[in-house]
């Protein structure tokens, strides 16, 4: 069973750009980055063994370009949404033995279920001494229309009632 947890933005008044600048390096290389959400020191025990960036125009191995493109698109939003960047953590016992293709499948299935296939998203498989999990960052601004997408028809996931439904979302991991 896959458990999906929405990570709340750490600073309600923080600029989205700053959160993106912290989140992308953390997802792609946690060994050298502080966690953007708890301000802990770099994790020497947590490593990113695989990451992928979807719906980006820039070189996906250029972390600075990924950050800049995400920031540029987030700033083009045509809505009053406060935070168009969502950080999710996916956990499941079966992830420890998952291949990169399995990780792609799991993330794509979730993105499809959330109806966000045309949005930018970036994810990384993190391994540590206790668990294997996936960090997923979603930019909910549509790159073609600049409209802000909802997750499961919940505009900004502001209320606890709305987020609790996402916290409880579970899906089966398909093993090939």
| Strand 132-139 relative to strand 170-171, pairing | unpaired
pLDDT, tens digit only, all 176 positions of the chain: 788 888 887 665 567 888 899 999 999 988 776 655 554 444 557 889 999 999 999 999 999 999 999 999 999 887 777 789 999 999 988 898 999 999 999 999 999 988 899 999 999 999 886 789 999 999 999 998 898 888 764 433 333 333 233 333 333 333 33
Q: Could you report the per-residue pLDDT of 32-48, keeping only the tens digit for each? A: 766 555 544 445 578 89
- Any residues with CB less than 8 A from the CB of 2 and at least 6 apart, and which? 90, 91, 92, 106, 110, 170, 171, 172, 173
Closest CA to 52 of 24, 92, 94: 24
Q: Look up the pTM and report it.
A: 0.80
Q: What's the pLDDT at 69?
A: 96
Say what percent of the chain tops pLDDT 70: 76
Q: What's the pLDDT at 149?
A: 86
Q: What's the pLDDT at 27?
A: 94
Contact predicate 114/133, CB 8 Å: no
């Amino acid at each position: 069973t896959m458990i999906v947890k929405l990570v709340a933005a750490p600073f309600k008044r923080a600029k989205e750009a700053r959160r993106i600048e912290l989140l992308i390096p953390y997802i792609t290389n946690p060994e050298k980055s502080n966690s953007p959400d708890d301000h802990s020191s770099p994790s020497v025990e947590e490593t990113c063994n695989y990451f992928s960036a979807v719906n980006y125009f820039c070189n996906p191995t250029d972390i600075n370009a990924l950050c800049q493109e995400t920031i540029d698109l987030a700033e083009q939003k045509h809505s009053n949404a406060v935070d168009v960047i969502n950080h999710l953590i996916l956990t499941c016992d079966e992830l420890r033995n998952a291949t990169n293709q399995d990780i792609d499948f799991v993330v794509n299935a979730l993105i499809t279920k959330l109806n966000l296939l045309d949005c930018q998203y970036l994810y990384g498989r993190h391994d540590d001494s206790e668990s294997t999990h996936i960090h997923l960052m979603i930019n909910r601004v549509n790159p073609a229309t600049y409209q802000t997408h909802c997750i499961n028809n919940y505009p900004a996931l502001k209320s606890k009632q709305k987020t609790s439904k996402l916290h409880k979302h579970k899906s089966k991991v398909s093993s090939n």
